[in-house]
Homo-oligomer: A and B are copies of this chain.
Amino acid sequence: MSDRSLIFPASEFRRRIRALQSEMARDGLDALLLTTPADVYYTTGFLTRFWESPARPWFIVVPATGDPIAVIPAIGAALMGRCWIKDIRTWSAPDPVDDGVSLLADALSETVPASGKVGIPMGLESHLRMPIGDFMRLQDRIAPRRFDDGTRAVYRVREIKSAAEIAKIRATCAVADAAFARVPEFVRQGLPLAKVFRDFQVALLQEGADWVSYIAGGAGKGGYGDVISPADERPLQAGDVLMLDTGAVRDGYFCDFDRNFAIGRASDEVRRAHAALYAATDTALAELRPGMLARDVHRVLTDALLRQGATPGGGRLGHGLGLTLTEWPSFTPLDTTELREGMVLTLEPGVEIALGRILVHEENIVLRPEGPELLSRRAPEQLPEIMG
């Protein structure tokens, strides 16, 4: 496996690096410094759950031309060695005296002219996954080279998914489709939500998820209160609406969509809310096109909900999807990102049924020239009722 990654062929990574280098040239960046799990996997194929340990930083340097340099803790050398990356420099981390800073400063100094600029993602939705004290030391060490904003270059490339990436996300969506189809097998009145959350994760694993990085949900009479709280021990009751949402992962790619279930008969109020969400999603599936802006999608969904007589919920109504559970852009009134062919997106309208009672609905799509193509199996038009 000397010239291929574990999941994609080297050609996929070379194409990504060339695309990044093209955007870097446009922004006058002589290198990119990448530190997050998604950016490291995207450029190298290095995929591990070991990121869960905050102990060690990991660095990828993308030069203006040529292949990336990996500056990483020695514990990752074997795995990185099976990826397509040739220039791998390691240190024994964590090192309280010099945790890779000298090694990284050398790599940047070799790669970037003294008057040059190193791009790092520093904009909305980004963070730098290294100690900020070490970042300050690094700034001093590489001077007069300086850091500059690399957000646009990275986002512009990563937001367009290749055919291989779309296939991965589609496969993860299929895992969740299969798990959602099994919900009536393990959900019934009287079960605590915490048990439902566990059983749903089990179903996702059994249907092929490598791991389950995210599930969320809610249950409440005629709607739920919020969608980010952990499950509690309250038993499901007739009249509840149960929502389950998932970010399952397969080959490093996420899905992110939810499904609703009525426990017993759904009230007319809940049916109307569900119908409004379904119709608004249909409208977006019909109307989205490359060239629209992210904020236009917010308007399309909001207007469609209003036409249905529903009260749109607050917050964003969808977002990008891929290497993380959520990616830019965001379907808010403020996001002016242009939609482009090959973006993988979620459509996530929500309605407020009453104060503190909401209903949400989510699908995953890839944007084609002629409009959205579903990656998730379309939710049933009628809210499923679990009568057991």
Contact = CB atoms under 8 A, between A and B. Distances in A.
A190 interface: no
Contacts of A328: 55
B54 A324 contact: yes
Contacts of A82: 229
A371 interface: no
A126 B132 contact: yes
A238 to B, nearest CB: 24
A374 interface: no
Interface string A32-52: 000010100000000111101
A326 B211 contact: no
Interface residues of A, number: 81
Contacts of A151: 133
Interface string A184-222: 000000000010011001100110011111111000000
A335 to B, nearest CB: 6
B133 A123 contact: yes
A325 B325 CA distance: 21
Contacts of A315: 74-75, 92
Interface string A107-144: 00000000000001111111111111101100000000
Q: How many identical chains are in the complex?
A: 2
Interface string A60-81: 0000000000000011101100
B50 A228 contact: yes
Contacts of A194: 210
B127 A122 contact: no
Contacts of A325: 52-54
Interface stretch (A95-103, A164-172, A257-265): A95-103
A226 interface: yes
A239 interface: no
A385 B199 CA distance: 30
B229 A48 contact: yes
Nearest to A57: B127
A74 B332 CA distance: 14
A319 interface: yes
A21 interface: no
A136 B128 CA distance: 13
Given A79-B228, A202-B206, A316 B94 contact: yes
A369 interface: no
9 contacts: A48-B216, A48-B228, A50-B214, A52-B325, A74-B314, A96-B335, A122-B133, A127-B130, A205-B205
A142 to B, nearest CB: 16
B74 A226 contact: no
Nearest to A251: B230
A319 B57 CA distance: 16
Contacts of A36: 54
A214 B326 contact: no
A131 B120 contact: no
Contacts of A79: 226, 228-229
A149 interface: yes
A228 B83 CA distance: 14
Given A92-B315, A94-B125, A122-B131, A210 B230 contact: yes
Nearest to A247: B52
A347 B38 CA distance: 30
A225 interface: yes
A387 interface: no
Contact of A334 (B95, B205, B316, B324): B95
A76 B226 CA distance: 8
